[in-house]
Amino acid sequence: MACFVAAGAGACVAKHGNVKASATSGAFDTLGALGLTTGLNGPGVEQCLADAGIAFVFAKAFHPAMRHAGPVRAQLGVPTVMNILGPLSHPGRIRRQVIGVSDPGLQDLMAGVLANRGSEHAWVVHGHGRLDEIALTGPSRVVEVKEGAISEFEVDPTDLGIARASLDDISGGDAKENAKIAHAIFDGSETGPRRDIVVLNAAAGLVVAG
């Protein structure tokens, strides 16, 4: 949901993702529940970016060989090496991005890969509570890649005037439930922690977008 807010604020967003593998609902499951088309090819994504400033890059449409890994990942029900390769295999060859990881041990590794590949500005974030996004539960560690240099810092929501919240406060559900939450955030009826975490992560995207 943060991608919509970032795009609405002026960033050009090409959201790369997939349907659920080891989670209750993947990003693209929720997009489908919102009624959005997610299986666009290259020209379709390019046109969508030109028209709306945001497009959804469905991993299976651009990496067809990976369809063989999907069923196995679903059966395993736990993170695999694909959770590392996926975020690093954006077909748009983008130079600015925010990548979230639930394992802090992967941050430096992924940041090094991004630096070696010429990223202009990227954040690899790990949120308190093993979240793969900037968290409200406590400070989040950010490994930043900027023009070849790698550094790190913490983001604490309280430093930005945002109250901390528990995991229960921000939890979602299946794709249909997450779509309802998205509508509530976008129409202004949700004003609590679920909105706050979306705003916080959208802000990260805007910083990286420049």
DSSP 7-55: HHTT--EEEEE-S-SSSSS-HHHHHHHTT------HHHHHHHHHHHSEE
Tokens read off for 142? 């950010």
- Cα 146 to Cα 165: distance, rounded to the nearest angstrom: 30
Joined together, the tokens standing for residue 137 give 């539960």
Q: What is the pLDDT of residue 25?
A: 63
Please check whether residue 102 is in contact with residue 131, taking contact to mean a CB–CB distance below 8 angstroms.
Answer: yes
Note the pLDDT of residue 65: 63
**Residue-level pLDDT at 125:** 98
Q: Are 140 and 149 in contact (CB under 8 A)?
A: no
pLDDT, position 85: 82
Give dist(CA 111, CA 173) in Å, integer: 30
Find where tokens 């690093």 sit: 88
For position 87, what pLDDT does the model report?
Answer: 81
Q: Largest Cα–Cα distance in the chain? A: 45
Return the H-helix or E-strand segment holding 57. strand 54-58
Number of domains composing the chain: 1
Which residues of the chain, if any, have pLDDT below 70? 19-26, 64-74, 76-80
| DSSP letters for 143-194 | EEEETTEEEEEEE-GGGGT-----HHHH---SHHHHHHHHHHHHTT---SHH
pLDDT of residue 70: 63
Contact indicator for 40, 61 with CB cutoff of 8 Å = yes
Tokens of 72: 């196995």
Domain limits at 138?
2-209
- Domain of 38, CATH number, reads 3.40.1030.10
